[in-house]
Chains A and B, each alone.
Chain A
Amino acid sequence: MVREVAESCVDGVVMEMVAAYCGRFYAAKPELAARRIEAIGFQVGHQLSERYTMERPRFSDHLEAIKFICKDFWSELFKKQIDNLKTNHRGTFVLQDNRFRWLTRVSLDPPAESTDATDNDSAPLGDTAAQTTSMLLYFPCGLIRGALTNLGISCSVSADMSNLPACSFVVRIKT
């Protein structure tokens, strides 16, 4: 049987990690905090995808690997699959989760602005709630990038949370 712990344990350590990096260590340097949070996610994603793919044949192409992330990887972590996958067939994939678990308890003021989590570090963020939320998203961005990197695909991942609690992760494969 697969070992389980309460979801609150994961929520707790992730939230406290984000709070520690944004509030205590790099309060004045959000871009540094963001990089550290992403790095932690990367590490976890890298290890998890290694474990989840142990008994699988190698993926034949990028799309197969992305589909693995959308289905198996996402299900292991969030007990649901990615709801919508889009691609421009030139190396960019948009993975949308209509109800991203880690954001279901976050509320923002109604005119929530679109915040791109990793692309515009310098973009002015409207309010602290939006900022905290975008900081929270560096972790899953890192998870996805780590998982794909372990599968031999180097890429950048950013998040778009303009329609909470839906969340889109944009994967750009480096060629």
Chain B
Amino acid sequence: MPPLTAPKSGDALFASVDRVNAELFTLTYGAIVRQLLTDLEEVEEVNKQLDQMGYNIGTRLVDEFLAKSNVSRCVDFKETADVIAKLGFKMFLGVTATVTNWDAEGTSCSFVLEDNPLVDFVELPDTCQGLQYCNVLSGVIRGALEMVSMKTEVTWVRDMLRGDDAYEMRVKLIKQVPEEYPYKDDD
């Protein structure tokens, strides 16, 4: 594994941001999901909206992350994934994720979370089969990566709310959009 280029550690990063009681976050998100289930009726539609909300949040959080973390350019997707797992998750949620299950091409991997503040006090009733409760998180990852020119697909593989032993999301790099420099017209 290449050394992380970030001068700040995850702990230092988390200590440097304004923080709030996690209960407020967890209960607010829970109340939103509950209200969406009432208003939208279709579970699939709720999943889609949570993902969309996450995407929008991710496109903004990435700016805050880059501004505060002093992370310089990552050389490849692998390094990007490590930075997200060790620093990104830590800075915002106060937990770290593990990056694992790389495919041979180095274009898809899993983030595994054993501790997830989003689901404290949460239990899903049987009527919520098919609800991807944590879709906001996968949306955030997708949104944030798109802002740094990486188009990805993020899906949930394991979910403790459904009885699995951890949270695992699969991140697949679809394409890396090369950055366009403002070349002169006559180049």
Contacts and interface: CB of A to CB of B under 8 A. Distances in A.
Interface of A: 2-10, 12-14, 16-17, 19-20, 24-25, 36, 39-41, 43-44, 47-48, 51, 76-77, 79
Interface residues of B, number: 34
Given A5-B22, A5-B117, A6-B18, A17 B53 contact: yes
A24 B31 CA distance: 18
Given A13-B136, A39-B35, A3 B20 contact: no
A19 to B, nearest CB: 7
A51 B90 CA distance: 26
B56 A19 contact: yes
Interface in B38-59: 39-40, 49, 52-53, 56-57
A40 B32 contact: yes
Contacts of A40: 28, 31-32, 35
30 contacts: A2-B21, A3-B21, A3-B22, A4-B21, A5-B22, A5-B25, A6-B14, A6-B18, A6-B92, A6-B94, A8-B17, A9-B92, A9-B93, A10-B20, A13-B32, A13-B53, A17-B28, A20-B52, A20-B53, A24-B49, A39-B35, A40-B31, A43-B34, A44-B24, A44-B27, A44-B31, A48-B23, A51-B23, A77-B20, A77-B21
B32 A17 contact: yes
A122 to B, nearest CB: 23
Contact of B24 (A8, A10, A20): A10
Contacts of A13: 25, 28-29, 32, 53, 57, 136
B137 to A, nearest CB: 10
B98 to A, nearest CB: 19
Of A2, A3, A17, which is in contact with the most chain B CB atoms at under 10 Å from its CB? A3
Contacts of B17: 6-8
Given A13-B32, A25-B39, A3 B92 contact: no
Of B22, B25, B52, which is in contact with the most chain A CB atoms at under 10 Å from its CB? B25
Nearest to B18: A7
Nearest to B36: A20
Nearest to A26: B39
Contacts of A5: 19-20, 22, 25, 92-94, 117
Of A16, A19, A36, which is in contact with the most chain B CB atoms at under 10 Å from its CB? A16
Contacts of B20: 4-7, 10, 77, 79
A83 to B, nearest CB: 19
Contacts of B19: 4-7
A8 B92 contact: yes
B143 to A, nearest CB: 10
A5 B4 CA distance: 23
B31 A16 contact: no
A8 B64 CA distance: 9
B92 A16 contact: no
B179 to A, nearest CB: 26
B120 interface: yes
A51 B60 CA distance: 31
B91 interface: yes
Contacts of A25: 39-40
